[in-house]
Structure 1
Amino acid sequence: MYIDGYRSGDIAGIEKAFHKDAIMWGYSGDELLQGPAVPVFAGFFNSLGASPNARSRLDILAIAPTAAVVRVDMENDVLGASFHDFLSLLKIEGQWKIISKIFQRYA
């Protein structure tokens, strides 16, 4: 859901993947960015649009019955940049939700 939503610029996909109270922190170059995840993505999509040519790789770093950590490597977003995400997921009411994201974006 997260990757598909990111590629299509569809905030509904992001809302399905992220918990409504999810946060994100990270660097875009030297700039520290932080905030609530869904509104940050909405602003990004509204100003820049979709990233249909983005390529991604996901690695499950750790998984337990109700918690997981996933690394996402993405290349060629709408600006041609690449980034690493580290996502914390929690199984809430039977569904996996991203509750936090830390990232490094490269120009």
Structure 2
Amino acid sequence: MSNPIYVHEYNAIVEVLNKYNEGGAKADSAIMKPAFSEQATIFGIDSDNKLVGGPIQGLFDTIDSTFKPSPDAKAAIVRIDIVGTAASARIDTNDISGFSFTDFFNLLKVEGNWTVVNKIYHTHATG
């Protein structure tokens, strides 16, 4: 069997992504903030099919002002792809303040620690 060189890295990334998931479920950006680089960005498409987003602080502001704790929230880390100091991940989330999302994250290992540098998302129609 070959050496599973990314097992440690995979587990470290899961730990970072779980901060995001917990912060969303508890509607508390302070929990998720350590998962992100201060320079991170977030982008998505609004209901008019226009690009929205910018600095990650926009996510934190939305979490704290609009979201409510969601004890029934479900999140699944669908995939993590790692090459050296770069990684991408996908999370599918249901029942976060009445929303369901698919999020795509880009991460970099900076000074020995994984951090999210970009998030793009799709909001699923409810109903």
Q: Which runs of 4+ in 1 moved over 3 A?
A: 28-32
CA distance in 2: counterparts of 1:35 and 1:43, whole angstroms: 13
Give the alignment partner of residue 56 of structure 2, picking from 21, 25, 37: 37
> What is the TM-score of this pair, normalised by structure 2?
0.73
Q: How many residues align?
A: 106
Report the RMSD for the aligned CA atoms in angstroms: 1.7
Counterpart contact for 1:29–1:106, Cα < 8 Å = no
Rg (Cα) greater in structure:
2
Judging by fraction of residues, say which structure has more helix.
2
CA distance in 2: counterparts of 1:36 and 1:52, whole angstroms: 28
Q: CA deviation at 1:33?
A: 2.1
Task: Structure 1: give runs of 5+ residues left out of the alignment.
Answer: none
Give the alignment partner of residue 29 of structure 2, picking from 2, 6, 11: 11
More relative contact order, 1 or 2 (CA 8 Å, 6+ apart) = 1
Counterpart contact for 2:78–2:90, Cα < 8 Å = yes
Q: CA deviation at 1:83?
A: 0.9
Letter in 2 for 1:26: G
Q: CA deviation at 1:28?
A: 4.2
Judging by fraction of residues, say which structure has more strand.
1
